[in-house]
Amino acid sequence: MSLFADILSTVFERRYVPFGLGRVDSRPLPDLTAELIGASGEVTGQAAARAILDRYAGMDDAAKRAFFTHLARERTIDPAALRAALEVYEKGEDKASYRALMQAAEPPRQELIRRLNQVPGATRALVAMRADLLRLGRGDDALMALDMDFRHLFASWFNRGFLVLRPISWESPAHILEKIIAYEAVHAIDSWDDLRRRLQPADRRCFAFFHPAMPDEPLIFVEVALTDGVPGSIQALLAEDRKAMHARDAKCAVFYSISNCQAGLASISFGNSLIKQVAADLSAELPALKTFVTLSPIPGLSRWMEAEGLKAKDDEALRRLAARYLVKAKRPDGSPLDPVARFHLGNGAQVHAVHAGADTSDKGRKQSGGAMVNYLYDLSKAAQNHERFATAQEVAQSAEIRALAAEKGQ
């Protein structure tokens, strides 16, 4: 039976033979990828695409690495063909030579990935495939080049214009909420009761970006606390016995945790858009909100202090060192040493305040001696902050931080 019969029977009978359960096409994978790339349009492509995805789903790491290596080596660009197409194009830039050049300039694996995506539900499988690639390909230049093609396509598919912001609440479906528990990367959620405390009170909010082709998979989410003032302790902010305030009375929105959910979407940036969009939505809903601020970890502080041979004799000294670290410690390229600082300063935020004893968890004590920082998203200064940061690597900071960082001594 030919492939096309396969497609049609799959399509017409897919209520009986769901994705992944059918008879597996046993031909060598290179044959399948060749067929999928070369197939005459979409007509016969779906069967090959499904076969490849089904096969992939059953592979162990060695087989996956072999598959990636096949794509990396045999479905890459052909320099000679590209050179030939380029020469024709340079002689006369017409439509036909442009088309030929574009075809030669794109590695066939890009079209392969696009055609794999024709299968219903494939987007999620492809995101998982890239997670495998990142895990297995580290240090292998050819596989990292292959990853560039995945990343290139994903940046197009997961374009901001295609993402949907959805509030996450205690009324959200349980199968989404269990992912929030699983993916929380900053302050672990240790039970459903803990989750409820982060979602249900009137002064708590959570928002996530979703992609329509993966509606059950949050891509990134942010947890927000509505407060009266800028907070200086994560434990106080999340205390079980605190009394919730009315949202309409809150003056400050605190972004206290941002977590990426999909390893397969690494380097596809959503965080900046998410913070802005959430701030916009909250601002529209709650006009009393005047301050948008984070309560953020300082993950590299302890390591830096150790490297520099610095010790904090008291809280005040720790705050001084934290301020100094955040505004003065740099990577060779001049950007801030602290990764969280790089993210928020790159978004146009400023270093607003530092607090000792702000995160008394083991992790907090270990990474920063318990210190945390507020980055302030101040609308009237954000544009200027961003431009100075981008062009002159100037770190926006409050007067208090400036003074603290300038103090002498440990």
Which residues in 35-54 contact a copy of itself (CB under 8 A)?
A: 40-44, 46
Q: Please report whether residue 403 would count as binding a copy of itself according to CB under 8 A.
A: no
Measured from the Cβ of residue 9, the count of other Cβ atoms closer than 10 Å reads 15
Q: Please report whether residue 136 would count as binding a copy of itself according to CB under 8 A.
A: no
Element (H, E) at 142: helix 141-157
Q: Which of 220, 216, 217 is nearest to 206 (CA)?
A: 220
Rounded to whole angstroms, how far apart are CA atoms 152 and 149? Answer: 5
Shortest Cβ 362–a copy of itself spacing (Å): 26
Amino acid occupying residue 344? H
Q: Please report whether residue 102 would count as binding a copy of itself according to CB under 8 A.
A: yes
Among 31, 61, 83, 138, binds a copy of itself (CB under 8 A): 83
DSSP structure class, residue 410 = -
Per-position x/- string for 209-238, each x denoting binding to a copy of itself as judged by CB under 8 A, each - no binding: ---xx-------------------------
Would you say how long the chain is, in residues? Answer: 410
DSSP structure class, residue 373 = E
Q: Please report whether residue 290 would count as binding a copy of itself according to CB under 8 A.
A: no
Question: Binding to a copy of itself (CB under 8 A): which residues in 62-81?
Answer: 77, 79
Q: Please report whether residue 28 would count as binding a copy of itself according to CB under 8 A.
A: no
* 3-state secondary structure (DSSP) of residue 208: strand
Q: Please report whether residue 152 would count as binding a copy of itself according to CB under 8 A.
A: yes
> Which C-beta is closer to a copy of itself: that of 118 or that of 410?
118
Amino acid occupying residue 61? D
> Which C-beta is closer to a copy of itself: that of 118 or that of 235?
118
Shortest Cβ 144–a copy of itself spacing (Å): 5
Measured from the Cβ of residue 183, the count of other Cβ atoms closer than 10 Å reads 18
Q: Please report whether residue 1 would count as binding a copy of itself according to CB under 8 A.
A: yes
Shortest Cβ 12–a copy of itself spacing (Å): 5
> Which C-beta is closer to a copy of itself: that of 194 or that of 315?
194
> Which C-beta is closer to a copy of itself: that of 39 or that of 373?
39
Among 61, 94, 306, 308, binds a copy of itself (CB under 8 A): 94
* 3-state secondary structure (DSSP) of residue 81: helix
Amino acid occupying residue 351? V
Shortest Cβ 24–a copy of itself spacing (Å): 18
Q: Which of 370, 277, 249, 260 is nearest to 315 (CA)?
A: 370
Q: Please report whether residue 88 would count as binding a copy of itself according to CB under 8 A.
A: no
Q: Please report whether residue 192 would count as binding a copy of itself according to CB under 8 A.
A: yes
> Which C-beta is closer to a copy of itself: that of 3 or that of 226?
3
List all residues 6 or more positions away from 31 whose beta carbon is below 8 Å from its beta carbon. none
Question: Binding to a copy of itself (CB under 8 A): which residues in 316-375?
Answer: 346-348
| Burial (0-12, 13-18, 19+ Cβ within 10 Å), 8 | middle
Query: Which residue has 């060598």 as its token pair?
Result: 28
Rounded to whole angstroms, how far apart are CA atoms 270 and 288? Answer: 27
Question: Binding to a copy of itself (CB under 8 A): which residues in 168-187?
Answer: 170-175, 177
Give me the phi and psi of 284, to 5 degrees please: -70, -35
Rounded to whole angstroms, how far apart are CA atoms 217 and 179? Answer: 8
Among 53-61, 62-70, 304-312, 384-392, which window interacts with a copy of itself (CB under 8 A)?
A: 384-392
Residues that bind a copy of itself (rule: CB under 8 A) add up to a total of: 91
> Which C-beta is closer to a copy of itself: that of 97 or that of 410?
97
- Any long-range contacts for 306-315 (C-beta under 8 Å, 24+ apart)? 310/410, 311/410, 312/369, 312/410, 313/410, 315/356, 315/357
